Amino acid sequence: MLMSLLADLKQSGSMCLVIGIGGGGDILGCLPMMFFLERLGVPVVLGSLTWERIEVSGKPGPRALDEIDGIVRISETVALAGPQTKTKSGVVFQASKLSKILGRGVILVDINKGVKGIIRGLKDLAKRVNIGAIIGIDVGGDVLAEGKEPGLQSPLADSMMLAALAQMDVPTIIGVFGVGCDGELTVDEALSRIEEVARMGGYLGAIGMLRDEYVIMKEALTIIETEASRLPVLVFDGNLGLKIIRRGRRYAHVSILSTLVFLLSPNVLYSISPLAQAVAHTESFMEAVEALHRLGIKTEYDYELEAVGHDQARKRYVD
């Protein structure tokens, strides 16, 4: 399926959008997939969400396009960004930093209008910019979550993007890079879910990160702020094993598996994802937050509210 899709893209001259689906730092984890595609002659545009970690943005939740300077709007939820792109308060996106390094524009997706808004925006993008396929990259693997994993802390953005990609008209793929590197699902939990997808016929294969990408990613890490996407780079330095991340709040295991991108069918993964199904028809970000609350799941938005002492952080989810 993958190679036939790539052949179709080459023949039609269409581009592939490779987008980080779990937050701003995931765009760095898109590079192995981008280089793989470009080596095969498929043109790629990189993408990211308008949601940076609270330590970077200082404000909970994703930024709306109206809050961002230096963009060219493509649709209601999608914009073209570059090195100059930043929030009106001066926060520079990791996507903007990578845009400067690579010398190319990037796509920003605003998830404030829910999954339905994401779908509308991506469909407009596909028509206007000739996008023939979309590959969503999650670094760590929380897109695989069932919701009951003890370490799960940031399932919201991934679930919304999985639900959107499962409903697109163009071919889509989910890629999981650096399994376990976000300190949420363990490596065993992530691999178990990938194997479940494989038993259902939804495993499309895997690609590996090369030393060429290591060199570029290591250089990018001098200015890009990310922890999960940083860990696979350590493998090429021989620095493996248990790592402390998120200021001591989480532990992640770095191994050779960290350098692989596992490719999955979004439709099959969606069919076993109660989280993605819960948010699939939402029209706003807060509607998606509440949908996961009803499942008893605390989201990254809740943690961010708590981090800034916001009164909305009162206990609205079920333990």
Residue 314 lies in a domain: no
| 19-42: pLDDT as tens digits | 999 989 999 999 999 999 999 999
**The 3-state secondary structure of 285-317, one letter per residue:** HHHHHHHHHHCCCCCHHHHHHHHCCCHHHCCCC
Segment 178-188 mean pLDDT: 93
Query: What amino acid is encoded at 303 in this protein?
Result: Y
Whether pLDDT at 227 is above 90: no
User: In whole angstroms, what is the distance from residue 270 CA to residue 268 CA?
Assistant: 5
User: In whole angstroms, what is the distance from residue 69 CA to residue 84 CA?
Assistant: 8
Predicted local confidence at residue 251, as pLDDT:
85
Task: Name the average pLDDT for the chain.
Answer: 93
Whether pLDDT at 319 is above 50: no
Is there a contact between 57 and 91 (Cβ–Cβ < 8 Å)? yes
Residue 109 lies in a domain: yes
| 152-174: pLDDT as tens digits | 999 999 999 999 999 999 999 99
Residue 297 lies in a domain: no
Segment 223-252 mean pLDDT: 88
Residue 83 lies in a domain: yes
User: In whole angstroms, what is the distance from residue 164 CA to residue 147 CA?
Assistant: 18
- Cα 151 from chain centroid (whole Å): 18
Query: What amino acid is encoded at 231 in this protein?
Result: L
Structural domain boundaries enclosing 113: 2-283
| 35-79: pLDDT as tens digits | 999 999 999 999 999 999 998 999 999 999 999 999 999 999 999
Residue 277 lies in a domain: yes
Residue 174 lies in a domain: yes
Segment 170-194 mean pLDDT: 95
Residue 290 lies in a domain: no
Domain at 142, CATH number? 3.40.50
Percent of the chain exceeding pLDDT 90 equals 85
Whether pLDDT at 315 is above 60: no
Residue 36 lies in a domain: yes
Structurally, the chain folds into a number of domains equal to 1
